[in-house]
Amino acid sequence: MIRGREAEPVRPVRPGRPGPPGDGYGGPAPLLVYAAATALTCAALAGTLWHGLHEPGNALAFATLIAIGEIARWGAAPGEREPAPLGAAGALAYALLGECQGEPTTHGVLQVIAVVVVCALAGAVPQLARGQYHALDHVVRRVLSVTFAAVCFQPLYNSGELGQWARGASYALFLVVLLVLTALCDALLSALILRTRTGFPYGPLLRDELRALLGIGSAVCATGTVIALAVAVAGLWALPVFCVPLLLTQLSFRRYEGVRATYRQTIVSLARSTEIAGYTPSGHACRVAALSRAVGREMGLTGKELTVLEYAALMHDIGQLSLVDPVPHGATVLLPAARQRRIALLGGAVVRQTGVPAEVAVVVERQADPYREQPLPARIVRAVNAYDDLAGGGGGAGGAPGALERLRLDAGRDYQPEVVESLARVLGRGGPGEPSPPALAGPGTPDPAGTPFPAGTPFPAGTPFPAGTPSPAGKPGREPAATDAGRAAPPGERSRTGPGTLPGTAPETPVRPGSPGAAPPGEPQGPVAPHPE
């Protein structure tokens, strides 16, 4: 819980990923976490049934709040860190509830856990029904962190100890400190889950999680405290009133995420324009971006650095748009260095016109420089680009051994050895994404990012759909599929897919069949078009 995404979507598990939730990469840690959560849940439910419900009114009111808060999760983007801030705040507030309108309460730890589990599970049912088991990760984290808060607070309060040494303002401060500790625990826990899911180093993941605490996480903490205090003063009426600011925060957050996703889609479109123009092989930009991102993570980059790296990797070939004739197969790695640098500078000029941070343009401009003069993201993009060019896009699960060997040979001269080794490790794990890519594209998998065109559709040459079939609304028949692909598979999503199964860049784009541009690249330049280089 206590989550907000400051910069980067980290997807614990790809939606639609089949299989039980505990089988991630990297050992028994998630099993332990899941086992602990399950044991707690059973104990809480049994204990609550045995002792009966204390203050059922309170329990019902908070349960309603948490359940409503959890409903918000349905509309969440797949990578959202805290898809249900209201549910989180409500659960924390219930864990920290001491008085209700001046009357002391007696519900204990077990009842808190029971209420939260039931509501969180109810909120996760629609996702689970669609096979999105990553929803369980959220439930587990919520259960464990609420348990932490409740165990720290309820026994102290119920025994009357707390009332003796914390009154008034110090009581409020105590609640805040407790929630901050809870948030830290939750960050540790969720970084652990991510680590076991993705195999990336723990430190950077934790740094990402902690950074996210500053965003919506702090709003959740504050609201949890405020609700607990306000119910103590004003009774249950405070619940609906005091949720409004957090709802506002959530709406702002969603809107922000929405525009970020759109922005990303536009950048991907810009990046793919070189593919459609026939300058680079289909899917190259997205493959390089996904792989660069994974290598960047492997090397400990976080947050904004990863975004810069990803945008730069997406647009690294954009300079080729200025060329009159495409480079053979778009493989700039085979060109002379001076020409590579020239293309890089042209690309930087285009990138500067987009709204991306200036660092991205620097990375693009300097991608062809000797690696010792480059910033780290440029070194990564350079190595990954070379790998993809050499592997010809057919890297496969284990990577293309020949291409990797060649990079290793040139490491130290053209490429930074650490980058190449990180790349090798990422490829050794099966590519940029999940360790089980075959399952992702398996038949029958409900794949929201499925290829919108059946493979082999001769896209640009053929009529997109039979003449006269568009609906009167002006929405061509194929549009929904395309829309889904665009929404369900933002580029970040691609980082979970193996090379070659990139949604939206699938091999449905045979570049310009029969057009002069697809003519042999060695073709001499015509006199009419002055080469801009």
Q: Which residues inside 18-47 make contact with other proteins, applying CB under 8 A?
A: none
Binding of residue 345 to other proteins (CB under 8 A) = no
Q: Is the CB of 28 or the CB of 477 nearer to other proteins?
A: 477
| Window 201-240: residues binding other proteins (CB under 8 A) | 215-216, 218-219, 222-223, 225-226, 229-230, 232-235, 237-238
Q: Is the CB of 89 or the CB of 144 nearer to other proteins?
A: 89
Binding of residue 246 to other proteins (CB under 8 A) = yes
Binding of residue 61 to other proteins (CB under 8 A) = no
Number of Cβ within 10 Å of residue 322's Cβ equals: 17
Binding of residue 74 to other proteins (CB under 8 A) = no
Q: Which DSSP state fits 201?
A: -
Q: Establish how many alpha carbons lie within 13 A of residue 456's alpha carbon, considering only the half-sphere containing its beta carbon.
A: 0
Site string for other proteins, 318-337 (x = CB under 8 A): x--xxxxx------------
Instruction: Locate the DSSP E strands across 19-165.
Output: 99-100, 103-104
User: Which among 133-141, 152-160, 354-362, 424-432 is the span making contact with other proteins, rule CB under 8 A?
Assistant: 354-362
Interacting residue with other proteins among 38, 155, 482, 533 (CB under 8 A): 482
Interacting residue with other proteins among 60, 244, 338, 409 (CB under 8 A): 244
Q: Is the CB of 150 or the CB of 220 nearer to other proteins?
A: 220
Distance CA 169, CA 162 (A): 13
Number of Cβ within 10 Å of residue 412's Cβ equals: 11
Q: Is the CB of 38 or the CB of 262 nearer to other proteins?
A: 262
Binding of residue 343 to other proteins (CB under 8 A) = no
Binding of residue 358 to other proteins (CB under 8 A) = no
Q: With contacts defined by CB under 8 A, how many residues of the chain interact with other proteins?
A: 93
Interacting residue with other proteins among 62, 133, 171, 415 (CB under 8 A): 171
Interacting residue with other proteins among 32, 173, 337, 338 (CB under 8 A): 173
Q: Please report, as a single letter, which amino acid is at residue 181.
A: L
Q: What is the CA radius of gyration of the chain?
A: 26
Report yes or no: 441 and 447 within 8 Å, Cβ to Cβ: yes
Phi, psi of 301 (to 5 degrees): -75, 150
Q: Measured from the CB of residue 8, what is the shortest distance to other proteins in angstroms?
A: 14
154 token code pair: 């309820």
Binding of residue 517 to other proteins (CB under 8 A) = yes
Q: Please report, as a single letter, which amino acid is at residue 407.
A: L
Q: Which DSSP state fits 411?
A: B
> Exposure string (b/e) for 150-180, b if CB count within 10 Å is 16 or more?
bebbbebbbeeebeeebeeeebeebbbebbb
Binding of residue 75 to other proteins (CB under 8 A) = no
241 token code pair: 């009133």
Binding of residue 356 to other proteins (CB under 8 A) = yes
**476 phi-psi bin (left φ>0, alpha ψ -120 to 50, beta other):** beta
Q: Is the CB of 344 or the CB of 427 nearer to other proteins?
A: 344
Site string for other proteins, 441-480 (x = CB under 8 A): -----------x------xxx-xxx-xx-x-xxxxx--x-
Q: Is the CB of 278 or the CB of 430 nearer to other proteins?
A: 278
User: Which among 14-22, 125-133, 333-341, 482-490 is the span making contact with other proteins, rule CB under 8 A?
Assistant: 482-490
Tell me the three state secondary structure of residue 431: coil
Q: Please report, as a single letter, which amino acid is at residue 477.
A: G
Q: Which DSSP state fits 408?
A: H
Residue among 342, 289, 292, 336 nearest 320 (CA) = 342
Q: Is the CB of 64 or the CB of 322 nearer to other proteins?
A: 322
